[in-house]
Amino acid sequence: MGMARVVGEEKVKLRKSFVKPWMGIKYLFKKPVTIKIPYEKMEPAPKYRGFHTLDWKKCVGCNFCGQICPARAIEMTWIEVDGKLEKRPHPKVDYGRCTFCQFCVDVCPTGALGFSESYILTTGGLDEELELYNWVPINPKKVQELNERFGDYRFPVERIEKKPDGTYIYHLRDGSKVEFKIVGYGLRPPKKPQPKPADKPAEGKDTSKSETKEE
């Protein structure tokens, strides 16, 4: 079996041309192949694998989606809505890692996890804007409603407001809001904070009566 031989650059004969540099001018008069995202849109193919949707009522918190995800982009999240803890954890998707393979959708036993045809998500890079890349998917009916109304296949949430107590407010594109509180992560329910025990009086001392000084 013969070995490949690399020819040195000094032995390569270059043919000089005065025409080739000017051939690039023809592309100045052609229409660009790229589009100006997010100002322009491109119609996706049917059943395009875009952003995820989630029916919280159907989700049983099995974590099949998190186990099969090759990019480890899914984290099970415990959510509190109107002061009431959800019975099961729900997946939260990190779009900084997601490869849109949709293995998670295929493996979901209840069909709770789905995907939309929306694919445009652009930000200016600010910290509050980057919150959009790490979100708990919302109801598929609401995402479909937004797509039918706007028709530009953009991310359904305009802004995510995060409060110090763990409350998240999703400001949707139509002005409505989705509000919930994240109280923990993982498959096990978060532990409830135990109340601090009251201070016990020291033994041998009667604190029922206040001491007074006699003159």
| Residue 169 maps to a domain | yes
Categorize the per-residue pLDDT at 199 as very low, low, confident or very high, splitting at 50, 70 and 90. Answer: low
209 in any annotated domain: no
Tally of domains within the chain = 1
In a domain, 131, yes or no: yes
Q: What is the pTM of this model?
A: 0.74
Instruction: Look at the chain and count its residues.
Output: 215
In a domain, 215, yes or no: no
Interval 99-127: pLDDT, tens: 999 999 999 999 999 999 999 998 887 88
CATH number, domain containing residue 174: 3.30.70.20
114 is a domain residue:
yes
Q: Kindly provide the b/e burial profile for residues 23-55, where b requires at least 16 CB atoms within 10 angstroms of the residue's own CB.
A: eeeeeeeeeeeeeeeeeebeeeeeeebbbbbbb
- Better-scored residue on pLDDT, 142 or 211: 142
Domain enclosing residue 137, as ranges: 52-185
Close Cβ partners of 188 (under 8 Å, ≥ 6 residues apart)? none
Tokens of 15: 């043919």
Establish if 74 belongs to a structural domain.
yes
The confidence score (pLDDT) of residue 129 equals 87
* pLDDT attached to residue 214: 46
Structure tokens at 89: 């954890």
The answer to whether the CB of 72 falls within 8 A of the CB of 81 is: no
What's the half-sphere exposure (Cβ side, CA atoms, 13 Å) at 100?
Answer: 12
